[in-house]
Amino acid sequence: MDSRQFQNLLATTSVTALLIGVAAEPAAACYTGPFGHTNAGATACITVANTSFTGNLVNTGTISPGNPTGILISGSTITGAVSNTGTISAGSGIVIKNSTITAQTVLAPIGIDDRGLLVATNGLGISIDNQSKVLGSAVGVNVELTGTFSGGLSNSGVILGSNQGINFELLTLVSGGITNSGSVSGLFGLQVDSVSTFTGGITNSGTITGASTNFGAGASSRGYRRLPAGSATAARSRGASPRA
Amino acid sequence: MNVQTTTVFSGGITNSGTISVAGGASPGFGRALWLGTSSPGGAISTFSGGITNTGAILAQKTGILVKYGDTFNGGISNSGTISSASVAGIVAANVTTFAGAISNTGNGQILTAGSAIKISGIPNFLGGITNSATISAGSGIVASSGSTITGSIADSGPLVATSGPAISIDSTSKIIGGTKTAILINGVGSTFTGNVTNAGVLSSNLAALSILDLSTFSGSISSSGTISAGGTGLSVSNVTSMTGNVGNSGTISAGNIGLSVSNVTSMTGGVVNSGTITAGAAGVNVTNVNIASGVVSNAGTISAKTGINIAGSSINGFVSNFGLISAGSGIIVSNNSTITNGITDTGQILATSGPGQQHDHQRYHRHRPDPGDVRSRHLDRQDQPG
C-alpha cells in the first residue's frame, strides 16, 4: 500500500465512522394505537396511520421531539376531535394527510383544537393536505389560549365549522402565518382575535367563505366550554355569541 | 375573514383565491375581509404588510374593511375583483396613520352599489388613492370625517358612479398634494361618469384639481371648499364630450389660473364662479371650448390678472358678471369666440391696470352690452367710459 492508498483508506474509514455515528441515533418511537387515545405522559410522537376510529385523540402531556412530526394522521378517518392542551414540540406539530376528521357532536365540536403549547421547530405547526378534511360542528381548526403557536397553519384541504372555519384566539405569539390553498368555510371563514403578535401574514389562494347569515343565533369559540383536561371524548360545548 | 383585537400583525394579507361572505341581519356581517371591529377596542394596533388582492373578494356589504387602529402599513392593492352588493368595495376608517396607497390597477375591478373606495376618519393618510382599472359603483372615491390625504387621488381608468359622487371630499377632509395634483383625472379615451365635489381643502404646488384627456365626462365639478394651487386651481382640459357644470362656490387661490376649461369639443353646462378666486393669471378661463348650452358667469369675487378670459370658444348662452371682478382686465373675449346671448354685467368690474389706470371710482364700471353676438370682443378699460 503506497502512501496515497493509505491516505484514501484513512479518509474512507473516517467518513464511514462518522456515518455509523449518525446512524447510531435511532428515530424516536411513536405511539401508534389503539385509538381513541389520551396522552397524559411523555411520548416522542403519535402516529395514526390507515385506520378508522370513533373517539378523540387528546394530548395533555408532552409530545417531543417528534418523528419528526408530533401528531401525524395519514390515511385515516376519525370521528371525533384532535385536541392538544399539553405540549407538542416537534419538527412539525400536527400533520393531516389523506384523512378526514369529523368532530360534529355537541361534546366534540372542534376538529383540531390546540390549547396547549405547540412549537414546530422546522416545519409547520398544523398542516392539512389536499386530500384531507377537517369538519367541526362549531370550529374546524381552533388555536386558542396557547401562549405561543409557531410554524403557522397550512391548509390545502377542506376545513369547515359553523362558527369559524379557522380560529386563532387569545394568543401571545403566532408565527408562521396562515396559508390556505384549499377551502375554508364558517360563519367567519377565518378569524384571528385577540393575538398580541401575529407574524407571517395570511395568504389565500383557495376559497374562504363566511356564511354569516345566522349571526344572531351563532356562537363564538370563546363561548365554548372546554371539558376537563384529559377527556378523550369531548372538547367544548356551545356558549355565547361573538362581538360584532 | 376577520382579524381583530391584535397588537401587532405583520406579513400582510394576500388573496389570489376567493374570499366570499353572504349577508346577515347584524350590522357586523357581510364583510368579506374585515380588520378590526365595530368598536375601538377591537383594533389592530399595528398592521404591516398591506392587503393585496389578485383574486376575488365577494361581499354582501363591504369587500375590504379596515377599521380602527394606530398604524396600518403597506396599503391596499387590488388587481382582482372586489364586489359588494351594498355598502362599499374598500373602506379604511378610524386609523391614526395609514401609510401606503389604496390602488385599483391592472385587471382590477371594484363593483358595488355603495362606495368603491372610502376613507373616513384617517388624519394621516400617506400614499394616496389610485384607480387605473375599472370602478363601477354608487359612489366612486370618498374622503370624509376628518381625513387628510398626503398625496393625491388619481384616476385614469373608467369610473362610473351611478347614484352618488364619483369623487367626493367632505368639508372636514383635505388632500395635500405637494408635488402632485391633489385630484387628477387623466385617462386617454376613458369614460368618467359622476360628479366631482370638494367641500374640504385641496392643495398642490401644481394644479389642485385637474381633469384631462377624457373621451367622455358626464357629471359636474364643484368646489365649495378651499383650493390652493401653485398652478391652476381647477382645470378641465382635452375632453371630447362633457356634460355638467364646472363651478366654484368656495375659495380658490392659484398661482396660475383659478378655474380653467380648455379644449373641450362639446360641452353642455356652464362655468360658474360664485365664490372667491384669487389667481396669478385669469380668474376664469374658457379656451377652445364649444359650449352647446350653458353660461360663463361670475357671481362671486375674482381677483386676478384677467377676470374672465374667453378665447377661441363658442358659447351658446351668455357671459355674465353678477359679482366683483378686480383684475388687470375685466373680461376678455378673443380668438374668434362667439357668445350667442352676449355679455351681461350687473356686478362690478374693477380694472386695476392698463391704459387709464386710476385709483378712483371710474375704475368701477358697469357694462351692459346689447344682447347678441360678440366676437373677439375685448372688454377691459379700453372699452369703458372714463
pLDDT of residue A233: 37
CA A112 to CA B280: how far, in whole Å?
Answer: 70
Model confidence pLDDT, tens digit, residues A111-124: 999 999 999 999 99
Contacts of B39 in chain A (CB under 8 A): 243
B3·A193 Cβ contact <8 A: yes
Residues 6 or more apart from B17 whose CB is under 8 A from it?
Answer: A180, A181, A204, A205, A206, A207, A208, B55, B56
Residues 6+ apart with CB under 8 A from B285: B257, B258, B259, B260, B261, B262, B306, B308, B309, B310, B311
Distance of CA B359 to the CA centre of its chain: 38
Nearest CA in chain B to A168: B3
Task: Give Cα separations from B35 to A166, A231, B189, B360 (angstroms).
Answer: 16, 35, 37, 65
Selection from B90, B199, B175, B180 nearest residue B135 by Cα? B90
Q: Which of B19, B148, B37 is nearest to B84 (CA)?
A: B19
CA B13 to chain centre: 31
Are residues B2 and A188, on separate chains, in Cβ contact within 8 Å?
yes
Q: Say yes or no for a CB contact (<8 Å) between B24 and A190.
A: no
Predicted confidence (pLDDT) at residue A212 exceeds the cutoff of 60: no
Provide residues of B within 8 Å CB-CB of chain A.
1-30, 32, 37-39, 42, 49, 55, 60
CB contact under 8 A, A208 and B16: no
Cβ contacts of A188 on chain B, cutoff 8 Å = 1-2
pLDDT digits (tens, 9 = 90+) for A174-210: 999 999 999 999 988 999 999 999 999 999 999 999 8
ipTM of the complex: 0.88
pTM, two decimal places = 0.87
Q: Is A241 part of the contact surface with chain B (CB cutoff 8 Å)?
A: no
Q: A188 vs B32: CB contact, 8 Å cut-off?
A: no
C-alpha angle B308/B310/B314, rounded to 5°? 140
Query: Across the interface, which of B7, B14, B21 has its CB nearest the CB of A210?
Result: B21
Q: How far apart are CA A156 and CA B87, in angstroms?
A: 32
A3: enclosing H helix or E strand? helix A3-23
Beta bridge partners of B155: B131, B185
Q: Do A207 and B17 touch (CB under 8 A)?
A: yes
Residues 163-202 of A with CB under 8 A from B: 177, 180-181, 188-202
Give Cα A90 distance to the centre of its chain: 11
Is the Cβ–Cβ distance between A73 and A48 less than 8 Å?
A: yes
Q: With an 8 Å Cβ cutoff, are B22 and A211 in contact?
A: yes
Predicted pLDDT of residue B351: 82
For residue B343, the model assigns a pLDDT of 94
User: Which residue of chain A has the CA closest to B4?
Assistant: A193
Where do we find the cell 363658442? B314
Query: Chain A: residue nearest B32 by CA?
Result: A210
Which chain B residues are Cβ-neighbours of A177 within 8 angstroms? Answer: 11
Cα–Cα distance, B161 to A79 (Å, whole number): 52
Nearest Cβ partner for A193 among B5, B8, B55: B5
Q: Do A190 and B15 touch (CB under 8 A)?
A: no
Q: Closest partner residue to A209 among B10, B20, B27, by Cβ?
A: B20
Domain spans of chain A, in order of start: 28-237
Q: Do A206 and B9 touch (CB under 8 A)?
A: no
Q: Which residue has the cell 351563532?
A: A218
Per-residue cell: B358 = 386710476
- How far is A118 from chain B, CA to nearest CA, in Å? 20
**C-alpha cell at position A158:** 377542506
Cβ contact, residue pair B14, A211, below 8 Å: no
Kindly list the residues from chain A whose CB atom is less than 8 angstroms away from the CB atom of residue B43: none
Q: Does the pLDDT value for residue A11 go beyond 90?
A: no
Measured between beta carbons, which residues in chain A are less than 8 angstroms from residue B11? 177, 198-202
| Contact status of A215 with chain B (Cβ, < 8 Å) | yes
Residue of B nearest to A241 (CA): B26
Comparing alpha-carbon positions, the chain B residue that sits nearest to A183 is B18
Taking CA B3 as the corner, what is the angle to CA B148 and CA B59, rounded to the nearest 5 degrees? 80
What's the gap in Å between the CA of B118 and the closest CA on chain A?
21
How much is the pLDDT for B356? 25
In this predicted structure, what is the pLDDT of residue B33?
A: 93
Q: List chain B pLDDT tens, one digit each, 386 residues.
A: 889 899 999 999 999 999 998 766 566 678 899 998 878 888 899 999 999 999 999 999 999 999 999 999 999 999 999 999 989 999 999 999 999 999 999 999 999 999 999 999 999 999 999 999 999 999 999 999 999 999 999 999 999 999 999 999 999 999 999 999 999 999 876 789 999 999 999 999 999 999 999 999 999 999 999 999 999 999 999 999 999 999 999 999 999 999 999 999 999 999 999 999 999 999 999 999 999 999 999 999 999 999 999 999 999 999 999 999 999 999 999 999 999 999 999 999 998 774 222 232 333 333 444 333 333 334 433 343 32
In chain B, residues with a C-beta closer than 8 Å to the C-beta of A212 are 21-24, 29-30, 60
Question: Residue A16: what pLDDT?
Answer: 44
